[in-house]
């Protein structure tokens, strides 16, 4: 079954509290989403394997640790996932970036696919799918299925805020995918928005409302 990791770092909690506020403007919202993504990335990459390499410091020869050369990719779910990419690349600058375009149909709340462009060798990469919001879980489940259909085997999902309903859906759809969550909220409302949540993440990142 999927591992579900809920972040307890005080900096992450503080920053999530800030972006929940309705009076946090676009510039600060965008900046803070990026910072939160970077902090969650730090936790979500703990499992990466290291190997020894011999080097020479200005003083002597020694052996140091280096990442074992596993190839990584970051895949944001458009639009709002874009807000997490810079934070991820700050810590893993050599990762390739793919894009999956999905929007929620306003009536059915089901995801509708409109774009998919992945690194050519994505099947060989360990993939971090990023989206600030896990609400019904439909978008994350569909995006991960698209990646599996392209041959991706090692996939993680990272979000800033999740509803319990979405976590259950994602866990059941993809038990092999670890889920990293900044904060687990109470529930979904009648419009499938997360309560208390932060509103529409895409609109708040891009200032479209
Ligand atoms: C939001 C969010 C997720 C999705 C979550 O995107 O960024 O992708 O909703 O909801 P779900 O778990 O119920 O699928 P939205 O569809 O609003 O598109 P946008 O990012 O283009 O605004
Ligand atoms: N998408 C969002 O942007 N916010 C929610 O609360 C649910 C889905």
In a domain, 61, yes or no: no
Tens digit of each residue's pLDDT (9 = 90 or more) over 28-86: 999 999 999 999 999 999 999 999 999 999 999 999 999 997 799 999 999 999 999 99
Distance 140 CA to ligand 2 centre (A): 12
In a domain, 59, yes or no: no
Q: Is the CB of 144 under 6 A from ligand 1?
A: no
In a domain, 52, yes or no: no
Q: Decide: 15 and 39 in contact? Cβ < 8 Å.
A: yes
User: Which stretch of DSSP H or E encloses residue 89?
Assistant: helix 85-91
Provide long-range contacts, Cβ within 8 A and 24+ apart, for 147-155.
147/75, 147/100, 147/118, 147/122, 148/174, 150/118, 150/122, 150/123, 151/122, 151/123, 152/122, 152/123, 152/125, 152/127, 153/123, 154/125, 154/126, 154/127, 155/126, 155/127, 155/129
Q: How far apart are CA 12 and CA 145, in angstroms?
A: 29
Domain that holds residue 161: 4-43+70-206
Q: Is the CB of 202 under 6 A from ligand 1?
A: yes
Confidence (pLDDT) at 127:
98
Confidence (pLDDT) at 2:
83
In a domain, 65, yes or no: no
Confidence (pLDDT) at 173:
97
Ligand closest in space to the Cα of 134: 1
Q: Is the CB of 193 under 6 A from ligand 2?
A: yes
Distance 75 CA to ligand 1 centre (A): 14
In a domain, 49, yes or no: no
Distance 70 CA to ligand 2 centre (A): 33
> Could you tell me which residues are beta bridge partners of residue 183?
161
Distance 170 CA to ligand 1 centre (A): 14
Give the pairing of strands 99-104 and 111-117: antiparallel
Ligand closest in space to the Cα of 132: 1
**Cis bond before residue 79 (omega within 30° of 0):** yes
Confidence (pLDDT) at 38:
98
Taking CA atoms only, the protein residue closest to ligand 1 atom 8 is: 139
Positions of the chain with pLDDT under 70: none
CATH of the domain at 128: 3.40.50.2020
Q: How many domains does the chain have?
A: 1
In a domain, 146, yes or no: yes
Atom of ligand 1 nearest to the CA of 208: 22
In a domain, 169, yes or no: yes
Distance 206 CA to ligand 1 centre (A): 13
20 C-beta neighbours (distance < 10 Å), count: 17
Distance 183 CA to ligand 2 centre (A): 14
Confidence (pLDDT) at 33:
98
Confidence (pLDDT) at 209:
85
Confidence (pLDDT) at 124:
95
- The pTM of this model reads 0.96
In a domain, 60, yes or no: no
């Amino acid at each position: 079954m999927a591992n579900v990791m809920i972040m307890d770092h005080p900096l992450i909690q503080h920053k999530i509290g800030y972006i929940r506020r309705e009076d946090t403007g676009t510039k600060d919202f965008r900046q803070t989403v990026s910072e939160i993504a970077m902090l969650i990335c730090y936790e979500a990459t703990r499992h990466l394997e290291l190997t020894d390499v011999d080097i020479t410091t200005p003083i002597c020869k020694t052996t140091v640790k280096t990442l074992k050369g596993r190839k990584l990719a970051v895949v944001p779910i458009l639009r709002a996932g874009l807000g997490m990419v810079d934070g991820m690349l700050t810590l893993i600058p050599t990762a390739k970036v793919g894009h999956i375009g999905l929007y929620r149909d306003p009536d059915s709340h089901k995801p509708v696919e409109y774009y998919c462009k992945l690194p050519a060798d994505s099947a060989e990469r360990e993939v971090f799918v990023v989206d600030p919001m896990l609400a019904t879980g439909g978008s994350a489940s569909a995006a991960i299925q698209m990646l599996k259909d392209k041959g991706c085997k090692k996939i993680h999902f990272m979000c800033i805020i999740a509803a319990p309903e979405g976590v259950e859906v994602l866990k059941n759809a993809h038990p092999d995918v670890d889920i990293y969550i900044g904060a687990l909220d109470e529930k979904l409302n009648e419009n499938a928005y997360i309560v208390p949540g932060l509103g529409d993440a895409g609109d708040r990142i891009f200032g479209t409302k």
